[in-house]
Chain A
Amino acid sequence: MNDKTDAARLDAFRTDVLREICNIGAGNAATALSKLMNRRVDMRILRVLPLPFNDIVEYAGGAENIVAAVFARFEGSLSGNVLFAADEQEARHLILALTGTEQEGFSPLACSVIQEIGNILIGSYLTALSDFLGMELRPTVPSLAVDMAGAILSFSLMEIGRTSDTAIMIDAGLGTEDAPPSEERTSRIFLLPDPESFETIFVALGVGDHGKD
């Protein structure tokens, strides 16, 4: 579809720029969670790349992979969707690492811990981006769902769907001391800015392409 728009303008240099600023956000999010839980957690950007919607779903473990997800939309100078997601095994590991208690599956208590982790990570991630870019971001109150990854991701991709069938996915992996962030782990934040927001970011950082093309 509109491959000539945002996805194609994401060259190697701009990919690095996005990775760097989002690493600031992810690092800030990890610090906030570490302080609160008094346990060391790490978060870093694993992938920044344009992917067709259906490939993003596969990347997240497939459409029927059951995940707990905390979703927020943000508006302001930049707009987009942000999603914290973890599958059942990862949720159990995180809750054990952070609270020292065993929780079976997506019990109500496990879900409230996941919701809390998601709130903290999303809030501090967006605050760091907002501070660094000097732009206002107003997030909605994050909301939790436990369901198929396809159902959750397709909702999160809806706004981007107005422009394209491809989204620039910014994947930040969460890890603990004994299990560092990696693509094999499934607790992650997907940052999915609206297509128009990328140019705003690049212009703010002096790497916009006005005058090009």
Chain B
Amino acid sequence: MAKIKVGIAELAVARFPDSVTTLGLGSCVGVAIYDETKRIAGLVHIMLPAMDLAKGAEFNRAKFADSGIPQLLEMMLRAGALGRRLTAKIAGGAQMFTFSDKTDSVRIGSRNVEACRRTLQNLGIPLLAEDTGGSFGRTVEIFSETGLYEIRAVGKDKRII
């Protein structure tokens, strides 16, 4: 079984028996999409909520929720997944630092989570479970065999959703 690693603003799709992981999510969100019948799992590491935040015409689609999740969907469909069978789980979106002023950049974690939920809803992909918010980093892994999404954080028990 191979463990495919995705970094910040990257994405990948795994077939049985492989898994996809991303390490150290902070305010970023790891969006996992799964086809149970074909046992295909995909993961995208979302950094920012919306592509209209991009400065410049060219940008990496995987970085933004409203372009990265559709890009992952396209990749999954090309890999043979069926659109109506897809389900999603998300994790991350923490607030890593506390500040006295409540500026937008401080709230970026929760904005990322909201944008991921909205994009999944627009794409008609049911969101089965999430482990979001808080003020701690997360390492996540989606398993193509089961669709289980494993979440690890410093000083906390492993969580599986």
Q: Which residues of A pack against B, CB within 8 Å?
A: 1-2, 5, 53-54, 57, 62-64, 66, 71, 73, 140-141, 143-155, 157-159, 161-163, 165, 195
Contacts and interface: CB of A to CB of B under 8 A. Distances in A.
Contact of B25 (A1, A62, A140, A150): A150
Dominant SS at the A interface?
A: mixed
Interface of B: 7-10, 23-28, 47-48, 53-56, 58-60, 63, 94, 96-101, 105, 108, 135-139, 154
11 contacts: A54-B8, A57-B24, A64-B24, A71-B96, A154-B25, A154-B28, A154-B47, A155-B108, A158-B47, A158-B48, A162-B53
Given A1-B60, A159-B105, A163-B55, A148 B98 contact: no
A211 B46 CA distance: 37
Contacts of A151: 24-28, 94, 96, 136-138
Given A54-B10, A158-B48, A152 B26 contact: yes
A153 B25 CA distance: 10
Given A147-B96, A161-B48, A162-B53, 19 more contacts: A5-B56, A54-B8, A54-B10, A57-B24, A63-B139, A71-B97, A144-B97, A145-B97, A146-B154, A147-B137, A151-B94, A152-B26, A152-B96, A155-B26, A155-B27, A157-B47, A161-B47, A161-B63, A162-B55
Contacts of B23: 62-64, 148, 150
Nearest to B92: A151
A54 to B, nearest CB: 4
A162 B48 contact: yes
B63 A165 contact: yes
A148 B139 contact: yes
A148 B92 CA distance: 13
A31 to B, nearest CB: 27
Dominant SS at the B interface?
A: loop
Given A54-B7, A154-B8, A162-B48, A148 B53 contact: no
B9 A165 contact: yes
Contacts of B25: 150-151, 154
Nearest to B137: A151
A147 B136 contact: yes
Contact of A165 (B60, B98, B99, B135): B60
A154 B154 contact: no
A72 to B, nearest CB: 9
A159 B105 CA distance: 8
A73 B105 CA distance: 10
Nearest to B62: A165
A155 B27 CA distance: 6
A153 B9 CA distance: 13
A162 B54 contact: yes
Contacts of B135: 145
Contacts of A165: 9, 60, 63
A1 B59 contact: yes
A1 B60 CA distance: 7
B145 to A, nearest CB: 24
A163 B138 CA distance: 25
Contact of A154 (B27, B97, B101): B27
